[in-house]
Structure 1
Amino acid sequence: MHFSSFIPLFSLDQADLSEIRLIGSDVDGTLTHNGKFSYDFISTLLNLQSAGIKVLLVTGRSAGWVSALVNYLPVAGAIAENGGIFLHPNGQQDLLSSIPNLSKHRILLENTFHQIKQLFPNLQASTDNQFRITDWTFDVDDLSTDDLQAISSQCRQMGWSFTYSNVQGHIKPPHQDKATGLDTVLKNQFSDLISQQVLTVGDSPNDEAMFNPDLFPISFGVANVRHYQDMMLHLPQYITQASEFAGFQELAQLLLPNSVTDDSM
C-alpha cells in the first residue's frame, strides 16, 4: 500500500474530527523538531487542553526520562517504553507488562543485548538504560534495514520482541507495544471514551501498532513516516504535509475550534 491511497491532512476539515477528545502521540520525530521541543510546543498543548482535547504521550523513551515530561507538560499522562509503563501526572506509575521479577528481568535483557552484540560488535547500549524498567535499548544510527531485521529475528529466537524508532532499538517482552499499552490505559483511565474519540499519531516503526485500524481507526502520520513506509505492515490512515512537530501542528489546527488553516501549507 502506498501513501497515495491515503487521505492527505489538508483535505480534511474540522468537522471530520469534531468528536476527537484524546490524542495518543509519539514524542521523538512527532512532537519534536530536530530532536528538540520548539518554542510553540507548550502553547499548542495548552490550546488543545483548552479545547477539551487531552494529549497522552506514547513514547519509547525510558520511564525515568518520561517522568520529568509528565511533571512539567500539560498532558494527561504518558506511556513509556513502548507500552511498558504508564505514568500519571500525579507521579503514580502503573506497570503495563506482566513482569514478576523486575531485577531478574533487567539482567535477562542485558544478557540478551550482549548476545546480540556478539553478532553486531559495534552496537552501543543507550545511555538511558539505567532509567528503564521494562526494555533495553541501543543506538541505531549506524544500522541498516537488513541489520535491524536480523536483530529482530534474533530477538524472537530468544523469546523477546523488538522494535525501533528514529532514535533507538528496543528489546522488550513479547506483546509489549504502544497499541497494547494505550488500549489498556484507555480502558483503565479513560473508559468514557469510544474509539472514534481517540486519535493516534506517530512517525516510525515503533508507532506501527497504533496505526492498526482494527484497534485505532483514526490514525495520522507526520510526513517523516514516509521514510519507513516499506518497513511497516500498518500505515497511518492520514498523513500531514509537514514533518515532525510542524506536521503535528497541522493536525492541531484542524482539531482546534476557530483556528485558521493556511491553504498554502
Structure 2
Amino acid sequence: MSVIATLRPLARAPTAALARVRFVLTDMDDTLTHQGRLSARTYDAIERLRDAGIPVLPVTAAPAGWADQMARMWPVDGVIAENGGLFLRRTADGDVERRFWHGNAERTIATERLERLRQAILGELPAVELASDQPFRLCSLAFRVPADSGLRAALVQHYRSAGAEVTVNSLWVLGWFGGYDKLGMARRVMREIHRLDIDAEADAIAYAGDSINDAPMFAHFPTSVGVSTVTDFLADLPRPPTWITRGPGGDGFVELADALLAARTKPFPFSEPRSAGDHT
C-alpha cells in the first residue's frame, strides 16, 4: 500500500483529540498561502481561532523581514522565522521584539560563515539563483529551488559539506549554522512565552504544514496536519502527518480551523439560537 493511501482525512480526526488543542503552530508558504497568495478566508480563520482563545503562531522558513510584518499586523501570537533562527512578537506598544536562537557573538560568527558559503556556492554553481528575499534574512542563506534535480542535489551537498543545516521546501533551498530547526525553536518559544512543555503536552498543539522542512513537527505532534499538497513531498518525509486536508494551502488550513472550532462547540438541546451580535 502506498503512503498516500494510508493518509487519514482530517474529517475523521477524533473530536476529543481536537478539543485538547490549545495552540496552532503552522507553516506559512503553501500552508497558509496558495500559489503565493493569502486569501481573506485564511486570514479570517486565523482571527477566528484567536478570538476563540486558540493562538496561532506561524513557524516558517520565510525571512525575518516578512515575519516582522506578520508579527506587527496579523492576528497571530508571534512568528518563528528562518526555520527557527529567530522569534518575533508584537509588544504592548506595537513594536516587535526579536529573540534569536544564537547570542550576539555566535550570530556574528554564523553570519560570516554564511557569507563565505554564499560566495563559494555562487562561484562553483553559477547557474543557481539567490532567493529574491535574501536581503531580508538575518540568519539563513536561501536559493531558489533549481528545477534541475542534479543542480538541486549539488546545492544541498554544498551546504552539507560546509557543515550547514539545510532543508528544501516549495520555494527555497535554505541553509543555516547552529543545529536548530522549527521544532527546537518551537520548544523554546512555547516554554519561555507560554510555559508549555511541548514534550509533556504535545497534544496541546496542532501543527499544519506542507513540505520537507515540516518533518520534525509532523513527527513530534500527534495532531499534525498536512494540507493536500503534502503528497508532493511524502517520499522525502521520514514520517507523514497524522491527518491530511482535502484542500491545498490556505483552504486546507481553513479546514483545520473549522475542525478545531467545531470540536470546542458543545450543543445544548432546547437552547435558543444566538443572535449575530451575541458573543457572550
Regarding TM over 0.5, the answer is yes
How far residue 17 of structure 1 moved from its aligned partner, in angstroms, is: 0.4
Alignment partner of 1:201 is 2:208: yes
Q: Which residue of 1 aligns with 2:105?
A: 100
1:239 to 241, 244, 251: 244
CA contact (8 A) 2:211 2:230 kept: yes
For the structure 1 residues 176 and 14, does the alpha-carbon distance in structure 2 shift closer, same or farther, using more than 3 Å as the test?
same
Match of 1:164 among 168, 178, 185: 168
Match of 2:180 in 1: 176
Which residue type is aligned with residue 59 of structure 1? T
- Distance in 2 of aligned mates of 1:48 and 1:28: 19
Aligned residue pairs: how many?
A: 257
> 1:185 Cα shift?
0.8
SS at match of 1:220: strand
Which digits, 9 at most, give the CA deviation of each residue in 1:71-127, with x for residues without a partner?
Answer: 111101000000000001221110123562434432321221232234422111122
In structure 1, what is the equivalent of residue 271 of structure 2? none
* Cα 1:99–1:219 shift into 2, 3 Å: farther
> Residue by residue, what CA displacement relative to the aligned partner does 1:177-225 show, whole Å, maximum 9, x if unpaired?
111111111111121462111111100111111112xx32221110101
What are the within-5 Å matches in structure 2 for residues 30-179 of structure 1? Answer: 30-90=31-91, 91-97=96-102, 100-144=105-149, 146-179=150-183
Deviation at 1:13, TM superposition (A): 4.9
Distance 2:243 2:262 in 1: 20
Runs of 4+ in 1 over 4 A off after TM superposition: none
The residue type equivalent to 1:200 in the other structure is Y
Give the structure-2-normalised TM-score: 0.85
Structure 2 residue identity aligned to 1:48: L
Alignment-derived partner of residue 22 in structure 2 = 21
* C-alpha distance 77-42 of structure 1, shift in aligned 2 (>3 A): same
| d(CA) in 2 for partners of 1:72, 1:46 | 12
Shift of 1:153: 2.8
In the alignment, structure 2 segments of 5+ residues that lack a partner are 266-280
Q: Of the two, which has the highest radius of gyration?
A: 2
User: Partners of 2:17 and 2:264 in 1: how far apart?
Assistant: 14
Counterpart check, 1:191 vs 2:195: yes
Between the aligned partners of 2:264 and 2:40, the Cα distance in structure 1 is 19
Identical counterparts, % of pairs = 29
Residue identity opposite 1:199 in structure 2: A
Query: Any idea what the Cα deviations from partners look like across 1:219-253, whole Å, max 9, x if unmatched?
Result: 11101011011112132111111111111111111
